[in-house]
Each structure stands twice: as C-alpha cells, then as structure tokens.
Amino acid sequence: MNTDLIFDNTEIAFSLKSDSELERAYFLFKMISIEPLVRIGTAATNFAIKAHLPIEGLIRSTVFDHFCGGVNEEDCLTVIDNMYSKGVSSVLDYSVEGKENEKEFDAARDKVLKIIDFAKTIDAIPIAVFKPSGFGRFYLYEKISSGKALSKNEEEEWARVLDRFDIVCKKAKANDVAVLIDAEESWMQDATDALITHLMEKYNTEKPIVYNTLQMYRHDRLAFLEKEHQKAKAGNYFLGFKLVRGAYLEKENERAQEKGYESPICESKFATDQNFNNGLKYMMDNLDGMWLFAGTHNEDSSYLLMQLMEAKGLKNNDPRVWFGQLYGMSDHISFNLANKGYNVAKYVPFGPVKDVMPYLIRRAEENTSVAGQTGRELALIKKEKKRRKI
C-alpha cells in the first residue's frame, strides 16, 4: 500500500462541508490565525460572559458551531450521522470545564453514563470519554499527587470520586464500550494514573475497556508506559492508552519555572515528536497486550502509524488501533483515513456555550499563527475552494 500523500485529497476531506460552511471555516481560521486578535478576543469574551452581555449568539454562530456538535448530546446526532456516513465515528465529549461542586460532578457522571447507553445502540459512537477534573475537585487530585494526607472529609469526598469512576467503567464493561480518560495537568496526574491503573486491573481482564492517556510532551511517559506494561503482564490484564502530545505546554513550563522544579516537558518540539513516535512504536510492538487510540493532528505521526500497521501486516481496520482527531480540525486526516478503511473517531464536544469556553479558548490558542496549524487548515480550505471554483 502506498500511504504517501493521502491527506492531500481535499475533496474527500471536505465532502461534508457545503460551500458556505467552507467559507465560514476559512473566515474563522483566518481570524484565529491572528495572535493578538485571539488574545484580545479571549479577554473580551471572558469579560462579556461574566458581565452577562448577550454574546452567546455570536459565539455560537462562529467558533462554537465550528468546534462543537451542540449544546446537548441530542443536538450532536446530525453531525454524528453525517460523519458516520463517511466512515468517521464520534466520541461525544461533554466539554463543560471548571465546575467544582458535587452536583456538577454527578451531572458529568450521568452524562457519560447516558453516552455509554447511546454507544450500546448507535454504531457511530463506539467510545466514551471523560475528564478526571469533571468527576472531582482538582485540589484533591493535586493533594494526593503531592503525597499529602487527606483530611477525613476529603477522604470521604475522594471516595465519591472513586465511585464515579467505578460506576462509569463498570457500565462501560457491561455495554462493551471503551472509555477514554483524558489527561490534564501533570501535578494532578499521579493520583489519576494510580486510579486508572486500578480500574484497568479490574475491568480490562478480557480486552481493554478503560484507557488512560499518555501526554508524550512529558519526557517521563515512555518509562511510565514500560512500567505499566510490566505491571499488566504480571497482573494479567490489558492496557488501553490514548497517545497524545499534550495540551498544557505553556502552563506546565510556567509553573515549573515559577516553583523552581525541572519542567516535565520535553526540551523541544522535535523531542516531543520523537517521544510520541517512540510511544507509537512501543505500543505497536506490544499490541497483543495493549490497544492504542492515537489522538493527533500530526500528519507525520499519522503516516508513521499507518506504516507501522502495514509493516506488521495488520488490516486497516484492526480493532486494536484507532486514530482520533477533534471535531472542527484536521478533517483531511480523519476523512482520508476513513476513506481507506482505518478506524477513525472525532471528539465531538458539546455543552452550554458559556461552559465550553475554556475548551474553545484552548482550540483558538492552539490554532494561532504562533502555536499552530492554522496555516495548514487555511491552505487546505483554499485548495478546496479553488477545486470547487468558489
């Protein structure tokens, strides 16, 4: 198989986009390519939301509709069906962030349980996802990760967090649906890792149901993967890992500098790329014991994974390997991979407009001219506009 340049096919990449949607995407990426505009826009939007100014309509018709499936899960079904008609599955992602009370944590758990029910009956939704900070206070994860003892009240609170994780994973196992658990800031991750390892031991006995996330911009993650592998072999259970580069780069480096410890982040983009690709290779060499969800918009890493699959003689749709992108980004990777029969899923974020703002701001920042990929998105949209003569 020749894997060269399949991502260049913009006709396949944008087959679901009408001419006007293509124009909107072009306008949007043009806007967020201007770094000062993103900075000012972010501050103005935060202010307007706090001041209850009526800007939801504007956000909704621009960034929100491009990067999110809707305000609730039902809203997303049209997007999900459309993508599935082209072979691209969906991971419904309840993207409300920054809530810190028990009621919200229970509500987030219930959302995920509902999605796991959806997944049982809707082929287009094979996988569920949640964020640890959606199920419990960040402070608790941080305190446990730092090795400090919890107070009695905190212990009770933590028990409720464990319960939320367990109920979700138990249901995922009963419905035979994989559940991805996102990774967040490194200073809360040790607590999450320990918890997820325990859940893998409990629920990944026949195949991977519970997936942890490895942020390969962290230079310690390959060693962590190897250690987890040894544990799983000894304990006779399967590993599931979502491999990503990592989304909190600046925050991580800033905190390390401020507090005077060595940054957990690789020294350069090149080092992160190598680490990510080595993670792919390690997992592909040990696919009998670990299944992979590669969450990336990086073309080279995606081609590498295709080549590794080919070298191992795997079918494109081998159930142990998934490619993942975010809704609103890198359709040229998702739809061209699906067109070749690979397993591909896009995270489809949803939630009330003001509650998904932290997610949207991360996407805008990641797509500025400084950090990102906008140039590529714009070039692809331009190419497709030219092909369609619009």
* Binding-site ranges for ligand FAD (CB under 6 A): 182-183, 213, 215, 217, 244-249, 265-266, 268-269, 272, 295-298, 324-326, 347, 373
**Cβ proximity to ligand FAD, 45 vs 213, nearer residue:** 213
Closer to ligand FAD by Cβ: residue 205 or 244: 244
Q: Least separation, in Å, of the C-beta of 131 and ligand FAD? A: 7
Please identify, using beta-carbon distances, which residue of 69 and 295 lies nearer to ligand FAD.
295
Which residue's CB is nearer to ligand FAD, number 83 or number 249?
249
- For the bound state, the minimum distance from the C-beta of residue 197 to ligand FAD, rounded and expressed in Å, comes to 16
Q: How far is the CB of 345 from ligand FAD (least distance, A)?
A: 7
**In the complex, which residue's CB is closest to ligand FAD?**
295
Give me the least distance between CB of 154 and ligand FAD, in Å please: 25
In the complex, minimum distance from the CB of residue 180 to ligand FAD, in angstroms, rounded to a whole number: 8
Shortest distance, position 325 Cβ to ligand FAD, whole Å: 5
SS3 string, the chain, reads CCCCCHHHCHHHHCCCCCHHHHHHHHHHHHHHCCHHHHHHHHHHHHHHHHCCCCCHHHHHHHHHHHHCCECCCHHHHHHHHHHHCCCCEEEEEECCCCCCCHHHHHHHHHHHHHHHHHHHHCCCCCEEEECHHHCCCHHHHHHHHCCCCCCHHHHHHHHHHHHHHHHHHHHHHHHCCEEEECCCCHHHHHHHHHHHHHHHHHHCCCCCCEEEEEECCECCHHHHHHHHHHHHHHHCCCEEEEEECCCCHHHHHHHHHHHCCCCCECCCHHHHHHHHHHHHHHHHHCCCCEEEEEECCCHHHHHHHHHHHHHCCCCCCCCCEEEEEECCCCHHHHHHHHHCCCCEEEEEEECCHHHHHHHHHHHHHHCCCCCCCHHHHHHHHHHHHHHHCC
173 vs 297, which CB is nearer to ligand FAD? 297
Q: Which is nearer to ligand FAD, 44 or 225 (CB)?
A: 225
